Amino acid sequence: MIPRYSNAKVDAVWTHEAKLRRWDKVELAVIEARVEQGAVPQSSSNEIRNALLSNAADITWWIERDLEIRHDLNAYIDERRRYISPSLQHLFHQDMTSYDTEEPATALALIECCTLVENAYEIFIDILRTSARKYRYLPFLERTHGQGAKLRSLGGRMITWMAELDEAYPAFEEALKSLRRSRISGAIGNYGGKLSPQIEKRALEILGLSPLKGSTQIVTRVIQARLAQAIQLLAEPLGKIANDIRLGARSGCPIVQEPFGKRQKGSSAMPHKKNTIRTEQVEGLLRMIRGDVSALVAAIQTWEGRSIEQSSVERVNWPDVFHLVLRILNELGGVIDKLAVYPDNMYREIRDSRGTYATDEAKNFLAEKLAEKGKDAEIAYRIVQLASFGVFEPKGHVWRELRTAVPDSLSLADDYLEMVESAPPEEVNNVRDLILEGGLVPVEALEASQEDADEWNRLLQDIFSVEDTRAKWHETFSIGYLLRSEDDIFREYHLT
Amino acid sequence: MIPRYSNAKVDAVWTHEAKLRRWDKVELAVIEARVEQGAVPQSSSNEIRNALLSNAADITWWIERDLEIRHDLNAYIDERRRYISPSLQHLFHQDMTSYDTEEPATALALIECCTLVENAYEIFIDILRTSARKYRYLPFLERTHGQGAKLRSLGGRMITWMAELDEAYPAFEEALKSLRRSRISGAIGNYGGKLSPQIEKRALEILGLSPLKGSTQIVTRVIQARLAQAIQLLAEPLGKIANDIRLGARSGCPIVQEPFGKRQKGSSAMPHKKNTIRTEQVEGLLRMIRGDVSALVAAIQTWEGRSIEQSSVERVNWPDVFHLVLRILNELGGVIDKLAVYPDNMYREIRDSRGTYATDEAKNFLAEKLAEKGKDAEIAYRIVQLASFGVFEPKGHVWRELRTAVPDSLSLADDYLEMVESAPPEEVNNVRDLILEGGLVPVEALEASQEDADEWNRLLQDIFSVEDTRAKWHETFSIGYLLRSEDDIFREYHLT
Amino acid sequence: MIPRYSNAKVDAVWTHEAKLRRWDKVELAVIEARVEQGAVPQSSSNEIRNALLSNAADITWWIERDLEIRHDLNAYIDERRRYISPSLQHLFHQDMTSYDTEEPATALALIECCTLVENAYEIFIDILRTSARKYRYLPFLERTHGQGAKLRSLGGRMITWMAELDEAYPAFEEALKSLRRSRISGAIGNYGGKLSPQIEKRALEILGLSPLKGSTQIVTRVIQARLAQAIQLLAEPLGKIANDIRLGARSGCPIVQEPFGKRQKGSSAMPHKKNTIRTEQVEGLLRMIRGDVSALVAAIQTWEGRSIEQSSVERVNWPDVFHLVLRILNELGGVIDKLAVYPDNMYREIRDSRGTYATDEAKNFLAEKLAEKGKDAEIAYRIVQLASFGVFEPKGHVWRELRTAVPDSLSLADDYLEMVESAPPEEVNNVRDLILEGGLVPVEALEASQEDADEWNRLLQDIFSVEDTRAKWHETFSIGYLLRSEDDIFREYHLT
Amino acid sequence: MIPRYSNAKVDAVWTHEAKLRRWDKVELAVIEARVEQGAVPQSSSNEIRNALLSNAADITWWIERDLEIRHDLNAYIDERRRYISPSLQHLFHQDMTSYDTEEPATALALIECCTLVENAYEIFIDILRTSARKYRYLPFLERTHGQGAKLRSLGGRMITWMAELDEAYPAFEEALKSLRRSRISGAIGNYGGKLSPQIEKRALEILGLSPLKGSTQIVTRVIQARLAQAIQLLAEPLGKIANDIRLGARSGCPIVQEPFGKRQKGSSAMPHKKNTIRTEQVEGLLRMIRGDVSALVAAIQTWEGRSIEQSSVERVNWPDVFHLVLRILNELGGVIDKLAVYPDNMYREIRDSRGTYATDEAKNFLAEKLAEKGKDAEIAYRIVQLASFGVFEPKGHVWRELRTAVPDSLSLADDYLEMVESAPPEEVNNVRDLILEGGLVPVEALEASQEDADEWNRLLQDIFSVEDTRAKWHETFSIGYLLRSEDDIFREYHLT
């Protein structure tokens, strides 16, 4: 990964030094297992261990050797043997094949990286929970299909994000468990020489792993593929969250914005800009994860006892997916932690939806009243639809003219712009009052006729002739009523 | 493809009947080539041709046979021979292998489908061109990063869509050309029996194709892969267009909307909804295309002289990608053709951007004036940034309070909503006037101090003391000035 | 999916009829939950239930209605209400949004299909286990990198296949569990009208599901994505198995072959062919699964409270991935069940590897002996390498000439072919004997000199001067010795 | 890309230094264009040019600045202005937005990398052509479905590889052409400030580019996507070639092998191994390319005037795909250049196919003879199939026993192995002679009865009673006859 997107801790896992130290660990574990079996004297093991631990591998030497013999594990053996006394050299990597060393070491590296993900995820979730609590009662106009739908608290929105992660994270945890299974079972997996099921079991145990019987020269890549899939599964909802923030930050009436530094420049050309660059980057990083993961999953396709297609991919893509997912977690966590939230705009947006934020409840309310009068529920739908479309019809001749004002020259366009700037504030009405007053009129976009409107207005006047009904109707449009069931959801997430 | 998303013309290409008719065509072309070579009497060819053309294949019979022998081409041979007199049967499919018949036939089917794409694309582009012309002078606030940026005409936006397609379509046309190359060259491609380079050339010529020498049992799937890639490349910018429409249709201040039927229901629950269901569907269809294409491209990976992994994929995914891309073209074309466009909202959005739509030009304007005074260009940037941020600061105590009004109960939320509903219209100012008047004040979000503001205001008063400068400043914010270079772009697309 | 690859049981799950029956189930569950809550009389519920169950939906009517209003769930409501008495109609789908019905119904459909996968998988694993037991002691030359490596039993190979599936299947089972969580929580997931957390919980319970709190209008697609990934994860190792069979069936010395029907034709052109068409098809089907899955996973990317990109993909790709994975399980299961296994060729291949099948153990054996003489383990490696390369050097002048016999005309090629056909059987030696006899000679491909060879031969003669060493050396090349640790692996899989 | 797989020339294109030098180029081109327009004095341009060219950018300074302001292009402007006299600073990057500089610079970088691909491809194709010529007459048994099919020359096989590349490479060349189109047209692409269509045209011209009108803030990513697709399309057939080499190198009777160094070790455990590690690596690298390309293609999906998802992907994946495709070309070119080719094994494999290599022609031959006798062509098929299956039936009791010798213990397995080792050479017959002699006998695997066999033998005896027929029959099995049409193919590729 290029430095711009690198995570220092991930880098530390994959340095040459760290890799060779892991190989040391595996080699020493095998020798130790033999000691316990009585096949190697404890003193020999100790001597080898001391030799290795007190002599860090000479990376330059090793790389040169690798270039010469084209085999990095063999080059490592040669490097390490330089510090072991000749009489003990044969005990080092005895009767093992390269992947007897590499497989457990790779498992350890992946586990280390997964721990980094666990930690970053925990921090991320804490930020999300804290924010959800903070915005427990802050209402905004939730959208479906990009259109204002119904009210939800911002905390409630954050719970919907959490709900996605709550489904994704267990897959990661399950995948991580499988990672603790490895092998030290010889060139095709049925042992040989001094390797035996007993040695394998004990050496892996020393490393914190356990045997996966039925391995070939390598552990089935299903295990790594599952982890790769799980990381993508975790990253995908993070991409959705980033996208929701981008959508909420659209200029006009932004309800949230990414944090913006006091010296930051949004754009070199346009000084007014506050761009959603961090959440957009999340999308880019996610695209890379998808590509990397597909190559990691393909590693399952190998020939018979193994072939080595997977090696290059794993060298490149494993570090990369960890860099990427950690950067997403950190960047997005940072954005949410310092998210600029605009309550004023949230209320404004609710107001400007002209009561349509409650059409669901309003329709249900009317349907019940109409049912009492033996009228079809469909009428409630049509009344509310007509009212909703009606309140957004342009009001006043200026706005009516502007609705279709497609200019045929730039100067006419300037004239229209001037009209708008000098226009009186548009009168607005809203669904709640329009229906309450029985003030429906036909709109062109719908089939309802003047007769329909007249009839429905009469029905409405009848319904709303009762004071109590009017009060309840009003309540239907209140935040308190509309969010009445959210408590249950917050309780589920222990956020009350 | 399920009927919901099927294209009848694509279906017609891939029926059993059509497929077997194409196989007839290939078989007859080979016989005819032999006639020309003098190896088969014209009368025999005629007799076979008549037998086949006057006896449509019995699809039921053929399917049953296929189930029995697990080889659809052989089952076809058996079916067809039923109508050929025994003395001529040996001339039918003589010395050919299945893919000698199938490959040219597949090429013909793909070409047919590509023609459907060409036609649909032409219609789509016509719609786009017509719309671009129609909205040549209709200005709106173009966005980058979802934020209002600068003005552009809606016609100009449509040209940016066209520009993408103009880069994608030639790749499709190039791919289509390659498709006309096929093979009739025996079991591994180096001929045999009565097949020869001459017969191959002539038979393919009769079919409107030409030989691809160096084929194995099959034509290299690079050809099909290239076509598949090209179809995705064509579909991708259509996805971007659909997304731009979705973004423009977001409620609040929608500048466009999908056409909506008089009887249509946007939502079963919320009667006010007009959802962007068709453009959202485009995204779904595009996702399927991507998956299908990746499997078609993989067909290049086959063993040696060929293996048959590609067959199942091609049977399923070729018809499907054509269904999908045609549906995208048709749906999206329909949306654009009848697009609801709201000039009033476009002007409103420009107005509500409070002059920030021209910060690029304003900054350049000031930079020049400041340069004349030996001042750094950076100051122009900071002035415009401060003004831009300033005009969006909440004005009046109600709005200032609401900016941070995170409630701790639903009833408080209702109170805040009431505050907004009864609030006096917010006073607004704009960048143009604020700068002209030298009225900068510090804002919390930026580092500029009171001293900075004071100094800059003095500079501005100095600059704008000249009447001509004031006039030019005003012009900088006019549509006519800002879109002055668009003519050049429209000319490039022959849309003036 | 086209009929050629369809599974009848999957088709049955996704028919219009089945779909509408599931919708009935959900609607009735909600009504029943209300009955239990005391909000609806039991008699009303019964009446509605009877009306629906005794009147199957009229699919034609429904499709026509859908075409008219472009909303299949609403069209269903209209259809069903035809059978419900007017006074009860309002209780049907009361205060619900479309996805309140669709989400639990989709969960039920997916669960049904997963059950089909479970069943097919169980059958597949039984076949694999039976075969592994059958070939517990049948040795063959396992390959790594396509090259003969060491001996393994065919049963042992089958265990390596099982090991992959054993890692993949739990991911599927985990994913399936999550599938039982759904929602009936209104247009944006925070309830409304007569929907409440209590009704949701009870209605889902009736359907065998439980609530996923924090849903939007839809259940997070993480759940479906996880299932889709899991299905791919299950299919990938099946692809590897198919590939291993293809590799083992390569002509020359095939050790296995796909079953071949008595009337089957391998090729229309070449009568001798027995092609691996079924295992190749597995690869094709797998390619489709990968593409389909990537589109299903993308469903997580939706806007805010939901948008509808996922709908088209789910209608098409969910049935398809089930068709595909079931076909893979069934076809591949069929192939393994009736797999043609050739012990003669397995032994022949072992023989023809000229003792190299045991070089791992042989090298370890020598290393120990050399260590006793204070010699480096590296010498053992070089001895065995030299011997291995040596036994494959062409023997006799005919074969030596042929090794480089690149002809410059076809007639010379024919001459060479004749030489081979009339050549005496090539003398062969093997690694075991060559080393035992100390008969090493230099080969061009390696750096070892005549002096090296001489020295090593002396060492070998010394080592093998002991009778017991000779006997142990011989044992090292025996199957009994080489497979000595396989018992442990079979025990792990309960296959002893 | 990690150093292990990096290409030094690609690295050189993407260093910070090279990148900033490209930015210099673009900035200077814009100033120069203004000079030509009379807007800037030539002397000012010269002074700026000299200042930049004689002061390489201070990368450390630049990186620190970037970290501070989070905008690498702005940091570059700051760095460069340090060397420009204050009175000229405003002319540098005047009225431009970041991507006015970045887009043409990116185009230049991609073009540079494409040139590297062109060069590497040319070398690769030369190697392939040289090899094809060299092996023009070397026959081997081509396979379909992994099964021996018919004869082809190895040169002919190489032509089939070339045919794939010949279809892929033009797509790359076409994509490269489009890359020469870029933009310098302001923040949303319709110019502004001192930018104009004229300046854009001339500045791009100076850089060797031309304008893409209709761009937004960025050039449509269709252009880059097309290039990315083309690189994958080029890499895919290279993957197929690598796979064919792997298949040909399988031990037993390898017809080719990767070059093997004199000091190389194939395996740390098994000294006899010569593994196909380089061709396997090609597959791994290709998998990475696929993933990287999918992310690059996704860049088309951006919002409106642009958002910045594409940036991170392009920073990482563009260098990477070039590293990868170049490594594939170089590695695979190296393998083919020094490919170990084994004519002896090729002839041996032909011989051991027991005449089945000519069943296509043999069947056609017999069909014609049978037709003369009024017999169905189907009989020819069945005769040749029966003969083909027959020649591979085990001969002699030892081999017949071994065909089904599935042992139930390891010691029995050792006994069977001994049987094989001491067995007399298996008698073999072949299809040519068996048919010539009319010696067909039934085999269990086919339906043909003793009566069928008897009747067919009589027919054959009749047919082959003519001496001339016998001679022609023999010729049918000759290489000269079977490859008679290859000349035509070699001519097509100018390889005669």
A31-64 tens-digit pLDDT:
999 999 999 999 999 999 999 999 999 999 999 9
Give the strand pairing for C210-211 and C181-182: parallel
Ramachandran assignment for B258, one of left (phi > 0), alpha (psi -120 to 50 degrees), beta (any other): beta
Interior/surface letters C395-406, b for 16+ CB within 10 angstroms, e for the rest: eeebbeebeebb
C480 touches chain A (CB under 8 A): no
pLDDT digits (tens, 9 = 90+) for C378-417: 899 999 999 999 999 999 899 999 999 999 999 999 999 9
Q: How many CB atoms lie within 10 A of CB B236?
A: 25
What confidence score (pLDDT) does residue C266 get?
80
- All residues of chain B having their beta carbon less than 8 Å from the beta carbon of residue C258 are none
What confidence score (pLDDT) does residue B496 get?
81
Model confidence at A67: pLDDT above 90: no
Q: How many CB atoms lie within 10 A of CB B177?
A: 10
Mean pLDDT of C202-216: 98
- All residues of chain D having their beta carbon less than 8 Å from the beta carbon of residue A262 are none
- Judged by DSSP in three states, A6 sits in coil
Answer for the pair C363, C369: CB distance below 8 angstroms, yes or no: no
Q: Rounded to an integer, what distance in angstroms lies between the CA atom of residue B361 and that of residue D192?
A: 7
What confidence score (pLDDT) does residue B48 get?
97
Both structure tokens of C325:
């994975």
- All residues of chain D having their beta carbon less than 8 Å from the beta carbon of residue C406 are 134-135, 137-138, 341, 343
Q: What is the CA radius of gyration of chain D?
A: 33
Q: What is the CA radius of gyration of chain B?
A: 33
Complex ipTM above 0.90? yes
Model confidence at C77: pLDDT above 90: yes
Model confidence at A363: pLDDT above 90: yes
Question: A78: buried, middle or exposed (CB in 10 Å: 19+, 13-18, 0-12)?
Answer: middle
Contacts of residue C265, defined as CB under 8 A and 6 or more positions apart, other chains included, come to: B69, B71, B74, C271, D381, D385
Q: What confidence category does residue A496 fall into, taking pLDDT thresholds of 50, 70 and 90?
A: confident
Give this prediction's pTM: 0.97
Q: Return the percentage of chain C with pLDDT > 70, whole number.
A: 100
Interface test mutation site (partner D, options B485, B486, B490, B496, max chain D beta carbons within 10 A): B485
Answer for the pair C95, C192: CB distance below 8 angstroms, yes or no: yes
Return the higher-pLDDT residue of A269 and C430. Answer: C430
Answer for the pair B155, D151: CB distance below 8 angstroms, yes or no: no
Residue bearing tokens 């060259």: B185
Q: What confidence category does residue C302 fall into, taking pLDDT thresholds of 50, 70 and 90?
A: very high
Q: How many CB atoms lie within 10 A of CB C378?
A: 13
What confidence score (pLDDT) does residue A356 get?
97
Residue bearing tokens 């079972």: A185
Name residues 73-102 of chain D within 8 A of A (Cβ): 73-74, 77, 93, 95-98
Q: What confidence category does residue A298 fall into, taking pLDDT thresholds of 50, 70 and 90?
A: very high
Nearest by CB to residue C264, choosing from B70, B96, B311, is: B70
Both structure tokens of D451:
């009566």
Render B3-17 in DSSP notation, one character per residue.
Answer: GGG--HHHHHHHSHH
Residues of chain B with pLDDT under 50: none
Q: How far away is chain C from the Cα of A476, in angstroms, using its nearest Cα?
A: 10
CA nearest to C240, candidates C284, C283, C281, C288? C283
- Name the closest residue on chain B to residue D283, using Cα atoms: B301
- Residue D145 to residue C280, Cβ atoms within 8 A: yes
What confidence score (pLDDT) does residue A18 get?
98
Question: Count of CB contacts below 8 A, A vs D?
Answer: 149
Beta bridge partners of C253: none
pLDDT digits (tens, 9 = 90+) for A209-262: 999 999 999 999 999 999 999 999 999 999 999 999 999 999 999 999 999 888
Nearest by CB to residue A188, choosing from C149, C300, C493, is: C149
What confidence score (pLDDT) does residue C341 get?
97
Name residues 196-235 of chain A within 8 A of B (Cβ): none
Answer for the pair B25, B108: CB distance below 8 angstroms, yes or no: yes
Largest CA distance in chain B: 106
Q: Rounded to an integer, what distance in angstroms lies between the CA atom of residue A484 and that of residue A150?
A: 13
What confidence score (pLDDT) does residue D201 get?
98
- Residue D147 to residue C349, Cβ atoms within 8 A: no
Contacts of residue D390, defined as CB under 8 A and 6 or more positions apart, other chains included, come to: D434, D440, D441, D443
> Using CA atoms in the order C85, C87, C91, C96, what is the torsion angle rounded to 10 degrees?
90
What confidence score (pLDDT) does residue D105 get?
98
Q: What confidence category does residue A279 fall into, taking pLDDT thresholds of 50, 70 and 90?
A: very high
Q: Tell me, what amino acid is at A286? A: L
pLDDT digits (tens, 9 = 90+) for A122-147: 999 999 999 999 999 999 999 999 99
pLDDT digits (tens, 9 = 90+) for C87-124: 898 899 999 999 999 999 999 999 999 999 999 999 99
Tally of helices (H runs) and strands (E runs) in chain B: 22, 6
- Judged by DSSP in three states, D268 sits in coil
- Judged by DSSP in three states, B377 sits in helix
Mean pLDDT of C146-153: 97
Residue A347 phi, psi (nearest 5): -65, -40
What confidence score (pLDDT) does residue A262 get?
82
Interior/surface letters D344-372, b for 16+ CB within 10 angstroms, e for the rest: bbbbbbbbbbbbbbbbbbbbbbbbbbbbe
The dihedral sign for the CA sequence B166, B168, B174, B176:
negative
pLDDT digits (tens, 9 = 90+) for D213-255: 999 999 999 999 999 999 999 999 999 999 999 999 999 999 9
Both structure tokens of D74:
């702005």
What confidence score (pLDDT) does residue D496 get?
81
Return the higher-pLDDT residue of D71 and B350. Answer: B350
- Residue D265 to residue A291, Cβ atoms within 8 A: no
Return the higher-pLDDT residue of C269 and A347. Answer: A347
> Using CA atoms in the order C265, C269, C274, C280, what is the torsion angle rounded to 10 degrees?
-100
Model confidence at C262: pLDDT above 90: no
- Residue A164 to residue C377, Cβ atoms within 8 A: no
- Residue A312 to residue D5, Cβ atoms within 8 A: yes
- Judged by DSSP in three states, D253 sits in coil
Q: How far is CA C384 from CA A89, A407, C475, D262, in A?
A: 20, 88, 17, 15
Answer for the pair B246, A144: CB distance below 8 angstroms, yes or no: no
Q: Return the percentage of chain D with pLDDT > 90, whole number.
A: 91
What confidence score (pLDDT) does residue B4 get?
93
Mean pLDDT of C158-178: 97
Give the strand pairing for C181-182 and B181-182: unpaired
Model confidence at A86: pLDDT above 90: no
pLDDT digits (tens, 9 = 90+) for D101-135: 999 999 999 999 999 999 999 999 999 999 999 99
Nearest by CB to residue A302, choosing from C217, C240, C488, is: C240
Given a contact as 3+ CB pairs under 8 Å, which chains touch B? A, C, D
- All residues of chain D having their beta carbon less than 8 Å from the beta carbon of residue C478 are 414
Q: Rounded to an integer, what distance in angstroms lies between the CA atom of residue D375 and that of residue A267?
A: 84
What confidence score (pLDDT) does residue B265 get?
80
- Residue A98 to residue D288, Cβ atoms within 8 A: no
D482 touches chain B (CB under 8 A): yes
- All residues of chain B having their beta carbon less than 8 Å from the beta carbon of residue C190 are none
What confidence score (pLDDT) does residue B266 get?
80
Mean pLDDT of D295-318: 98
C266 touches chain D (CB under 8 A): yes
Answer for the pair B106, B72: CB distance below 8 angstroms, yes or no: no
Q: Rounded to an integer, what distance in angstroms lies between the CA atom of residue D349 and that of residue C421?
A: 11
Query: Angle D472-D475-D477 (CA atoms, 0-180°, nearest 5)?
Result: 125
Q: How far away is chain A from the Cα of C186, in angstroms, using its nearest Cα?
A: 9
Answer for the pair B1, B324: CB distance below 8 angstroms, yes or no: yes
Model confidence at A265: pLDDT above 90: no
Interface test mutation site (partner D, options A287, A321, A410, max chain D beta carbons within 10 A): A287
What confidence score (pLDDT) does residue B137 get?
98
Both structure tokens of C136:
């517990």
- Residue A479 to residue B384, Cβ atoms within 8 A: no
- Residue B300 to residue D159, Cβ atoms within 8 A: no
- Residue D363 to residue C408, Cβ atoms within 8 A: no
What confidence score (pLDDT) does residue B427 get?
85
What confidence score (pLDDT) does residue A31 get?
98
